[in-house]
Amino acid sequence: MIGADGGGNGGVIVMASPEWYEVSYTINPWMRPDEWGRDRDGARQRAQAQWDALADRLRRAGMTVEVVPAAPGLPDLVFPANSAVVLDRRALLARFRRPERRGEEACFLRFFEDLRRRGLIDHVQRMPDGIFQEGAGDCLWDSSRGLFWGAHGPRSAPESLDHIAGFFDAPVVGLELITDRFYHLDTCFSVLSGGEIVYFPPALSRESREAVAERVPPEQRIVATEDEAHAFSLNAICLGHDLIMTPPPPRLRAMLEERGYRCIGIDLSSFVLSGGASFCMTLRLDHTGGRLTADAGGPSAERIGS
């Protein structure tokens, strides 16, 4: 049974119950099962408290929180950003590269089909079998430019970009991730409501950095330092001018606040132990603006570094 809690006049956002969350294996360089295992009961309690704090903050912002039930043996289900790309009430469901996460696909399919039956989305489709693509974690909607930034590299395949463009009738700019540490785009790249991009350039190929520079003017490019990226400050939820994020280092906080953003820091250290933070722990269902007009020339996907 899918639960809905919260309310208000804001949008709809997905979280997944942390009941079975733990750090029990290593599929990215951030994962620390040894640290989790030193105090499993305490680790679970801390994770639940941090999840509750994030959910509460989203509800206070007026968001409705839809909760995916937890499933034993699927600890990373708690990161629903990887479940799908959603735009204009259409959901394109992920195909996971790592076998540890493939069991999540059936759980998320049930969840999205239930959303469709309840009228919260209109259409659900799965990425074709054998084409890996890990949801919004590797595909960020940029409403200011009317395009997706779509990553390929450690987790998502270059050929997924064409499917995203066709499904949503929206342009996709492909960005190549070149390091396992920044294995999803949402770990090193954040799109803000005012059109700014916060990113860590060394995570991207040279061609990808050039693609960003061609589309984002210098005054809207905020370059994060390695320490800021390692603090998971770029894995943030942007709600208007509120940024819900792990507590950012002082330099980045000051730069964001100078531009009119309010940084709302939440301790999510239990989830950083698995390589995720606030953006990874959520999925927006209310992004709009992707459908092209008939004379817009059709959707396109530009692959960079493939």
The residues that are catalytic are 184, 280
| C-alpha separations of 47 from 44, 267, 271 in Å | 5, 10, 7
| CA angle centred on 96, ends 108 and 178, rounded to 5° | 135
DSSP per residue over 187-204, as a string? GTEEE-TTS-EEE-GGGB
Pairing of strands 90-93, 84-87: antiparallel
Distance between CA atoms of residues 229 and 249, nearest Å: 10
Could you give the CA distance from residue 126 to residue 36 in angstroms, rounded to a whole number?
33
Q: How many helices (H) and strands (E) does the chain have?
A: 8, 17
Residue 238 in 3-state DSSP?
Answer: strand
With beta carbons less than 8 A apart as the criterion, state whether 283 and 86 touch: yes
Amino acid identity of 53? A
| Helix or strand run (H / E) with residue 116 | helix 104-117
Nearest Cα to 185, choosing from 194, 196, 197, 195?
197
Residue 8's CB is within 10 A of a number of other CB atoms, namely 12
Any bridge partners for residue 39, and if so which? none
